[in-house]
Structure 1
Amino acid sequence: MALHWKLVIDTSDAPTLADFWAAALGYEVEDQSTLIDRLLAAGQLDDSVVTEHRGRRTFRGFAAIRHPDDPFDRDTGVGQGRRVLFQDVPEPKTVKNRLHIDVHAGAEGLAALVERLESLGATRIREFDKGPAGHWWVMRDPEGNEFCAAQ
């Protein structure tokens, strides 16, 4: 039996980084505004933990993305499959990641993928071409988290 899981990434601006990764991966940013509105109306949530991003209410310091083909709870907006949660933390990133995401190029090829990721705010760090073993770029997302763009 497969376990339900999500990848959690520490951030300084969760909604903005969620936007980047949703665009990079072709995922959808979760819309939890219906849940937030319901909790606010019932008095179960204080306005201080809510903010607005791109015209919808979100939980302050949190954002999540989900694969567009995976199921999600329509009452809460929470994905029930492949999901990444971004959470704000007070300390900045200081060292290399111990875990990273590999984004694989499709038919467009590696060069086009790298250019698209750069247009979203990523930066190139170092290229590796190991012939038959693989060709990839180490890149950084807008907050400096390392990831790979690979053929």
Structure 2
Amino acid sequence: MALHWKLVIDCRDPHALADFWAEALGYAVEDPSGLVEHLLGAGQLPEAATVRHGGVRRFAGLAAVRHPDDPFDDFSGTGRGRRILFQAVPEEKRGKNRLHLDVHGDGELEALVTRLEGLGAELVERVDQGPAGRWCVMRDPEGNEFCAA
């Protein structure tokens, strides 16, 4: 039996990073506003644990993106498929990632790199291993490494 999973990325600003990755991957930013408003109304969530982002009330320390074709819960906005959750942590990123995303474009590598740079990514290194492949090592706006291929 296959398990449900999500990739969780620690970060300083989960909403900005979710916006970046949603745009970079063509994913949808999850909208938890129904759940947040319900919890606020029931007194189960303090106002200080929320933030207004994208015109709706969201959890302050969490944001997620999901593949637009995957199912999701209408009430909570939670995806039930391919998702990435960004959670706020107090410390800055240190050292190299032990896990990273590979972003594959449909066309020319340079066009993909240019598009990602336009969204706030930084090009770190170009790798050319001949027949084994070409890719670029990049960093998202918080410095998390990923590869564009």
Q: TM-score, normalised by structure 1?
A: 0.97
Residue in structure 2 matched with residue 133 of structure 1 by the alignment:
132
Residue in structure 1 matched with residue 109 of structure 2 by the alignment:
110
Unpaired runs of 5+ residues, structure 2, are none
RMSD between aligned alpha carbons?
0.7
Write the mapping of 1:51-130 to structure 2, written as runs, cut at 5 A: 51-106=51-106, 108-130=107-129
The aligned amino acid for 1:141 is D
Q: 1:81: how far off? A: 0.3
Write the mapping of 1:17-56 to structure 2, written as runs, cut at 5 A: 17-56=17-56
Task: Please state if 1:148 is matched with 2:147.
Answer: yes
The count of aligned residue pairs is 149
The aligned amino acid for 1:14 is P
Q: What is the CA–CA distance in structure 2 between the aligned matches of 1:117 and 1:136, rounded to whole Å?
A: 13
Q: What is the CA–CA distance in structure 2 between the aligned matches of 1:121 and 1:74, rounded to whole Å?
A: 30
The aligned amino acid for 1:67 is H
Q: 1:132: how far off? A: 1.5
Q: 1:51: how far off? A: 0.7
Aligned residues with identical type, % of pairs? 64
The aligned amino acid for 2:137 is V
4+ aligned runs moved over 2 Å, structure 1: none
Q: 1:75: how far off? A: 1.1
Unpaired runs of 5+ residues, structure 1, are none
Residue 116 of structure 2 aligns to a residue whose secondary structure is: helix
Q: 1:43: how far off? A: 1.5
Residue 137 of structure 1 aligns to a residue whose secondary structure is: strand
